[in-house]
């Protein structure tokens, strides 16, 4: 188990099915950085509370709205044009790198706030993902739970 959220996220994202599940959840409006932090908390057996959910959302929502989402929209908006324009394709890759760095910064902010939350003595039932993901995406959430359960 990683004490570093970024390393946890990198390793977790490489597991089978996780990338597709995260992209599906993101397309439905979920904040993947929040979901990764939620899984990190679950793996660490940190109890989910309304106050903790609110604290993480208060960190993530402004950063997503002001930094990550504009970069993502710019990158996605250039997708078609970049196929025929090598200069734009290079700029699009630079924006993609900035978007990833913005997500990394968000994960660091979430980790800083939540890293000292104590774990419970007894395993806690789920709750983190259900609080932060669209209620309709049960299959994608199950993929994430299954991947988190693997060592």
* Residue 8 contacts residue 114 (beta carbons within 8 Å): no
pLDDT, residue 123, reads 59
Residue-level pLDDT, tens digit, the chain, 151 residues: 456 899 999 999 999 999 999 999 998 889 999 999 999 998 888 999 999 999 999 999 999 999 999 999 999 999 999 999 999 999 999 999 999 999 999 999 999 999 999 988 765 656 888 888 877 778 998 999 899 888 7
In this prediction the pTM is 0.90
Domain boundaries defined on the chain? 5-149
pLDDT (0 to 100) of residue 3: 62
Query: What is the phi-psi region of residue 123: left when phi exceeds 0, alpha when psi lies from -120 to 50, beta otherwise?
Result: beta
Question: Please, are residues 38 and 132 in contact by the beta-carbon 8 Å criterion?
Answer: yes
pLDDT of residue 124: 60
- What per-residue confidence (pLDDT) applies to 137? 78
SS3 45: coil
**pLDDT given for residue 1 in this prediction:** 43
Report pLDDT for 58.
97
């Amino acid at each position: 188990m990683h004490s570093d959220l970024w390393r946890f996220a990198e390793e977790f994202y490489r597991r089978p099915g996780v990338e597709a599940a995260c992209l599906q959840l993101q397309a439905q409006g979920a904040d993947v950085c929040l979901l990764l932090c939620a899984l990190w908390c679950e793996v660490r057996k940190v109890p989910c509370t309304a106050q903790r959910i609110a604290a993480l959302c208060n960190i993530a929502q402004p950063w997503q709205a002001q930094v990550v989402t504009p970069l993502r929209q710019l990158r996605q908006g250039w997708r078609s044009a970049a196929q025929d324009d090598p200069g734009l394709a290079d700029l699009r890759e630079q924006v993609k790198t900035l978007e990833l760095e913005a997500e990394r910064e968000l994960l660091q902010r979430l980790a800083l706030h939540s890293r000292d939350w104590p774990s419970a003595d007894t395993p806690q039932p789920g709750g983190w993902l259900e609080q932060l993901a669209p209620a309709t995406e049960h299959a994608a959430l199950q993929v994430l739970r299954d991947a988190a359960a693997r060592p």
